[in-house]
Structures are given as structure tokens and as C-alpha cells.
Amino acid sequence: MVAAPPEHPTPARVVVLVSGSGTNLQALLDAVAERGPAYGVQIVAVGADRPGIEGLRRAERAGLPTFVHRVRDYDERPDWDLALAESVAAFDPELVVSAGFMKIVGADFLAKFGGRFVNTHPALLPSFPGAHGVRDALAHGVKVTGCTVHFVDDGVDSGPIIAQEPVEVLPGDDEATLHERIKDAERRLLVEVVGRLARDGYRIEGRKVLIP
Ligand code: GRF
């Protein structure tokens, strides 16, 4: 009797990093809960750079282990980076997802997770990188902005782009209204991209990301 191949291979282990409200994390948690093994993802832990945020409470409500590393608790930034990398590595993830994680990781983290560390950014990169992408796009007067899911490299929001979605700027938009509309698109795009990377695998060739 030859065992039938599993209908769904073991879901990919994913660690998610957050710094704030965690609505992108919640979208991933909901996708795992609603789609089950067919989605191909299991979130195994959630990490943050600060305590007491809603993103960590969302993880706790989902019964997930969490960890926090505050930069100011370390003498040197590389010590923080290594501690974060070791906490993530302890969960043996295949993918790490920055879902609103507001710190730039360093050499140790990228040595371990470069090429499998994904970030979502609320602008159409390479336009408006950095911590104020929505504000900067609005100030520039763009008519269309959007969100980008990309692999993290050693720059700021500069890694190979996986997917993007446009979002129109509406008359009367302020940073909050525009960002919330972008986050609607982000949450859908991140859930789709993380699922595809987990299920189908991918190749990174220079600046191009190929998903079969
Ligand atoms: C997202 O728009 C993300 O792109 C940006 O910060 C926001 C985080 O939102 N870096 P949330 O914490 O997932 O609700």
C-alpha cells in the first residue's frame, strides 16, 4: 500500500515582525484560519521591536509565541540585530514577513534570512521609500500611489519587488484616509504573495522575482 501523497505538503513556517496595530498580521492570521492547510502557511511566532502594541496582542489572542527586542536595550545596534535574528531563527522559519516592522535589519539578520525576508511598503517603490511613504506621496501630489511587497536587501525598501497594487489618491485625502485605503490593498496583496511564495516557491534573479 503506497501512501497517497499529502493533499497539502506541510505548510511553510512563517515568522511575522510587527511594530504597531498589526492589521497586516491579522490578515495573514485570518487567511491561515479560514483557508487551512490549502493556504500553505503556518505562522509560528510574532516578533516586535517594542512591547505593548496591538500587533502582539493579536498574536497572543491567536495563541502564538511572541518576542520583543528593543533597540535601546542593547549597547550596540549589531547586538540588537543579532538578538532579533536569533529569536527568529529559534522558530526555524522558511519565510520571515515584515508586516509594519519599522526597523532596518542589519548584516547578521540578512545573513540568516536574506532572500526569504519579505516586507510590505505603503507606496509604489522605488518611489517614496522609508518610514513616511504615504505622507511623502501625498505631499508630492501624486494621483496614484499604492503598495509594494518586496524582498528585503541591505538598503531601505530597495530589494527585489514581488508584487505591487495601485491605489488612487482621492480629493480631500489626508495621510490617515489614504493610508487606510492603501492598507486595504496591502492586506490583500500580502496574503496573496505570502501564500504563493509558500506554496509555489520562487527564484530571485537579480532584481527579478520569479514565482512558477
Ligand atoms: C503598513 O502600511 C506597512 O506597510 C507600514 O506600516 C503599516 C503597518 O500597518 N510599514 P499594520 O501594523 O499592519 O496595521
Helix or strand run (H / E) with residue 204: strand 203-205
pTM: predicted TM-score of the whole model, two decimal places: 0.96
The answer to whether the Cα torsion of 115, 165, 26, 191 is positive or negative is negative
What percentage of the chain reaches a pLDDT higher than 70?
A: 97
Establish whether residue 148 lines the binding site of ligand 1, counting it when its CB lies within 6 angstroms of any ligand atom.
no
Look at residue 7 and tell me whether its pLDDT is greater than 80: no
Atom 7, ligand 1: residue with shortest CA distance: 100
Establish whether residue 122 lines the binding site of ligand 1, counting it when its CB lies within 6 angstroms of any ligand atom.
yes
Pick the CATH number of 12-120+148-166+183-210 from 3.40.50.170, 3.30.70.270, 3.40.640.10, 3.40.50.720: 3.40.50.170
- Residue 101 Cα to ligand 1 midpoint, Å, equals 7
Atom 4, ligand 1: residue with shortest CA distance: 121
Q: What's the pLDDT at 71?
A: 98
The grid coordinates of residue 208 equal 527579478
Atom 8, ligand 1: residue with shortest CA distance: 100
Establish whether residue 24 lines the binding site of ligand 1, counting it when its CB lies within 6 angstroms of any ligand atom.
yes
Look at residue 197 and tell me whether its pLDDT is greater than 80: yes
Residues acting as catalytic residues: 121
CA 208 to CA 7: how far, in whole Å?
A: 30
Q: With beta carbons less than 8 A apart as the criterion, state whether 94 and 62 touch.
A: no
CA 60 to CA 26: how far, in whole Å?
A: 11
Atom of ligand 1 nearest to the CA of 120: 4
CA 32 to CA 26: how far, in whole Å?
A: 10
Q: What's the pLDDT at 5?
A: 67
Residue pLDDT, tens place only, 25-70 = 999 999 999 999 999 999 999 999 999 999 999 999 999 999 999 9
